[in-house]
Structures are given as structure tokens and as C-alpha cells.
Structure 1
Amino acid sequence: MKVRRNALISAAAALMSGLLVYSIYVLQLRGIEHQDSVRVVVPKRFVAAGERLGADDLTYKPLAGSAYKEGMLLDAEEAEGMEAVVPLGESEPVLKWKLDRYHLLPRETESTFQLPREYVLSVSNGIRAGDSVVIYVSGDNTRSSRLFPEEVTVASVKTSGNQEVDDMTNPNLLSLADGDKEKMYASRRNANGMIEFVNLNLTEEQWLKIDSLCKDGTNKLVIAYRPLTMGTEGEAEGGAP
């Protein structure tokens, strides 16, 4: 009887020891996970492209450190008042490139410049306000080439009557805000008016380079439409930031 009791006590002690070791292991594992995790900003709901984010639309979500990618927001205040450039999914980590405060307004280092008509050789008839364009230079004494490595944002495109070139029944900007590519395409097909004036958001350095190349008439600009595309890693490859 005594031997049996001792065996039961030994088994119970071994079980308790095992549970204690396992509990310590779980606590240590949770501590490591907590140390390696980061809190990223996520929307509380689906946010359509073009919507402006408020404090009530945002919250935080813990994310494993290994899953964190550069560009994810860590402070919700950075996103407040910003517009969603593309749709944002509920609880999806918010990336900086997906937000913009005033998409058509120049950034801090930019100004809006209207290109003189004599500076322009050709303009893609498909461009609209908010688009990204690629600028090329062409001239008799200059090898044709891309002028800037980065795309430039179009602030507005106007007819000779100073009217915005667009489909008034289906404005391109509204379709862009909704992320509706079919309506955006239809808007470009149905828009009336020849583009006479193009306003671009440029840095001072960019404008001075354009002016120095084109003011004597030997060189002209070719402005080509560049649609917004998505890379495999979820980063914008050809759009405005």
C-alpha cells in the first residue's frame, strides 16, 4: 500500500513538474511574440478610393515583426485627413503610398505650372486631371529621350475655352475615386474637347530644366499617359505616391 502511495505521489509530482515547465515555456513564447510584434494602423471598415479618413475609421492591429513591411503606418494620426488613393480593406495594414492628402495639389516641394503651347509637340488625348504622365524631349539637335525618370502628376487639362476636358455625365475623377476602371475608360472615350493647356505639378528644378530646353524652340515635349499599375509586392510602379 505504501509503495502504491509513493508511486502515485511521484507520478503527481512529475505531472506537476511537467505542467510547470510547459507553463513557463508558454509564457516565454508569448513574451517573445509580444516583443517581436508591432502595432500597425488598419481601417475599421472597407474604405473606397477617394474617401477621406477620420480618427473613427482607424484602429491598431498587432502584427508579427517578420510580417512588417517598410511603408506600413504605425501612427494613426499620420492617416487622419488623408484620402485613399486605392480601396482599403478592413483590417488591412495601411501603406503610405495608398494615401494622399490632396491628390491634385502640388506637394510641398512642387508648384503647378501651365506648359506654354509652343513647348509641347504632342499630348496624349487620354490624359485627365489626376493622371501620372511621362515626359519626353524631342528636338532636331537633341537625341529623343525621357526627360525625368519619375512620373509627373497632371493638375488639370483644359480646352482653348479654358474648360476642363472630361465627360460631364461621367467625370473621370469620380470614376478614379471609386476605382472603377471601366467607367474611367468610358470617360476617356466619351470626353469632348481638344487639349490645349496642360497644368503639371513640378518641382522648381523640373520646371527650370523644361524651360531651358524649350524656350528657344529647338526642343519640344511629348507628354504620354501612364496608367497606375500594381507591382507584385503591392507597391505602386507607375502612379502618383
Structure 2
Amino acid sequence: MTRRRNLGYSLVAGLLAVLLVYGVYMILIRQVELQQTVRIVAPKDFIPAGTRLEAGMLELVTVVKSGLRPGMLETVESAVGKWALVPLGTREPILDWKIDRFSLLPAPGQATFPVPKEYVLSIPGGIRAGDQVAVYATGKSGTVRLLEEAVTVASIKSSANTEVDDPKEPSIIAKVNNDKEKLYTSRRDANGKAEQLNLNLTEDQWRVIDEACGTKQNKLVIAFLSASKPEEEGGEKP
């Protein structure tokens, strides 16, 4: 009886030892898996919001597999040609929500605000939707830059409050068809005079503009900063 009992204890001890070894083995395997690395896309240097991404601006950086997060890009090609909706830090992983193919759309946290005509003193004649502009306020106390950040022109309108776009392919058709690509190119190919603007702004940015001009003490001066023409985009529509 004692011999059988000892044999049972030995079998249980052996089984526990096997389970222990197996558990340690699985832990080690898991640690090895976590230490495996992947390569993700990141900027070589700081990239301001509103910049169209080019291959030379980007690189692949190595991170451990456990650090991979949903939305991280693993190929440079998946980012090239898109627009930075927010500033991108040096060697900071690019997440898909931070970039977009269509620069006319408001970024997260933004909305498209129409700027009242009576707020505006001057607009560059050649400005087009998708351009980056600086916003200044001028009045009796002088001229100051009202918004530190450059902002994107969502669309432009004429004095008749009609949208200035490509007369051959009006943006209204693209809107009806929910075709973002044609909407973008129609606005970029506009050939009319800009007299009113729609800007992509945060609520705080709009509040600053409204407070500065709502009392009629100041007027806005819109300064052209940068543009991206379709023919300069590798021959393809963005």
C-alpha cells in the first residue's frame, strides 16, 4: 500500500514537473514573440500640418512587435501623396487618422467655417481651394497675425456667393455623387476670382476671428503661403 502511495506521489510530482517545464517554455516563447520587431513609417524630420507627403520625407523605423498599434503604417507607399492633417513629429509613427488623401476636408477637431465677406479686407487673387494661408487682422491698432497656424482653404466663392470651381466639371456634381476626388480637382481647377472663403478651422480659431472682426474694429488680410497643383502631383489626381 505504501509502495503504491509513493508511486502515486511520484507520478503526480512528475506530472507537475512536466507542467512547470511546459509553462516556462510557453513564457519563453511568448517573450521571444514580443521581442520580434516590425518596421513602420515615420517622418525623417518634423512635418507641419497641411504638407503633402513625399517619399523623401519618410523612413521606416523599427519597433518591437508588441509596440505595434492599430492604424500604424508599414509601407512608405501607403503615406506618399497624402496630406498631413496634424503636425507629424520626427521619427514619430504615422497613424492613418493623421493623414488624408483629400486636403480640402477638415481635420479631426476642425469644421469648415464660412468667413463673412464684411470680415475680409483682401484676398490674393490666385488663391484656390487646398491652398495654405496665413490670417492677419488689421485695424486702427495695427496689423497682427491673428492665427499662428497656417489654415487650409476648403473652398472659395464669388461675390454672388456661388462656388468658384471648374466650369467644365462643377463641384456640385461631385457633391451629389459623393465623389471626393472630383470635388477636390474641381475646386483646384477653379478659374474665377476669389471674394469669399470657407476655411477649415477649429472652434477656437473661429472664435478668435469672430471676436477680432465681429466688432468691426478689424478686417482680415488673407496671405497666400503654399499651394499644390494637380500637375505637380506626379501627373495623378490626389
How high is the TM-score relative to the length of structure 1?
A: 0.49
How high is the TM-score relative to the length of structure 2?
A: 0.50
